[in-house]
Amino acid sequence: MIDLKEFLDEKYRQYNRPEFIETDPVSIPHLFTDEKDIEIAGFLSATLAWGQRKTIISKSKELLRLMDNRPYRFILEADETDFSRFGNFCHRTFNSTDALYFLHSLRNIYTTHGGLREVFENGFHRQHDASVAIARFREIFFESAGPLRTRKHIADVAKGSAAKRLNMFLRWMVRVDNRGVDFGLWTGIDPAWLKIPLDLHTGAIARRLELLSRTQNDWRAVCELTARLQHFDPADPVKYDFALFSLGALEKF
């Protein structure tokens, strides 16, 4: 286990550096400097983060161009004429109907609930539990009536979802290590409370390294893997996302 920790720490340092940003969806929030623009751009790009990374980045940029590359101002000030420009937007199963609901829901979150940061920080402060925070966020996100089809685009941990994209977004917003990739903006959430973003790459590598026994990539697997990684760094277990993802996706380990 000591050798494994040293190996993962080495891979963490290798990939957690600015050069990693360009080819990763985290590059999208890095296009902005205002905190609210960063978190909105991060949330939207994380939502679109499935499929080829080049396509994810391209589609995220397209979505933000439709928002005049001023996402916070757009969400607060756009009218129905502005919303009409999203009619042809589509990324895999996320289409214009979903985009419009997301924009209206984000407006509600920023005008009624204080914004994404406040919603998640309040959720974590209830039990210091990512599943509680994510479930609370989902409840608020869908408190306005909308199409049922859109609900699949926000993870439901109550049904066992691994919530990979939301956990990744939380990593971006919460972790601070001065290495240039994650932002560390949401200081009200302890990085120790975060859960590992689990996908096919991280799951496969974790099983190969005997860090994960569960065969399904679900919330139980997320909790199992995060608990194992806490032995290596209890204060910041999700830093090993850099190592596990890169070993699988980039090195084909």
Give the model confidence (pLDDT) of 69-92 as tens digits. 999 999 999 998 999 999 999 999
Q: How far is CA 251 from CA 50, 109, 244, 247, in A?
A: 19, 39, 10, 5
What's the rounded mean pLDDT across residues 193-220?
97
Confidence of residue 40 (pLDDT cuts 50, 70, 90): very high
Per the model's pLDDT, the better-predicted residue between 145 and 172 turns out to be 172
**What is the rounded CA–CA span in Å between residue 122 and residue 9?**
31
The pLDDT-based confidence of 67 (bands split at 50, 70, 90) is very high
- Residues facing residue 94 across a β-bridge: 91
Residue pair 248/201 in contact by the 8 Å Cβ criterion? yes
- Assess whether pLDDT exceeds 90 at residue 187: yes
**Tell me: the pLDDT tens digits for 153-178?**
999 999 999 999 999 999 999 999 99
Phi-psi sector, 116: left (phi>0), alpha (psi -120 to 50), beta: alpha
> 22: how many CB neighbours lie within 10 A of its CB?
10
For 101-118, write each residue's pLDDT tens digit: 999 999 999 999 999 999
* % the chain with pLDDT above 70: 100
Residue 4, classified by CB atoms within 10 Å of its CB into exposed (0-12), middle (13-18) or buried (19+), is middle
Tokens of 84: 């009409």
pLDDT at 124: 97
* This prediction's pTM: 0.96
* Residue whose tokens read 């914004």: 115
Residue 235: pLDDT band with limits 50, 70, 90: very high
Tokens for 177?
A: 């290590």
**pLDDT at residue 35, as a whole number:** 98
Q: Is the pLDDT of residue 252 over 90?
A: no
> Which pLDDT score is estimated for 1?
74
pLDDT band at 244 (very low <50, low <70, confident <90, very high): very high
Average pLDDT over residues 32-46: 98
The pLDDT score that the predictor gives to residue 3 is: 94
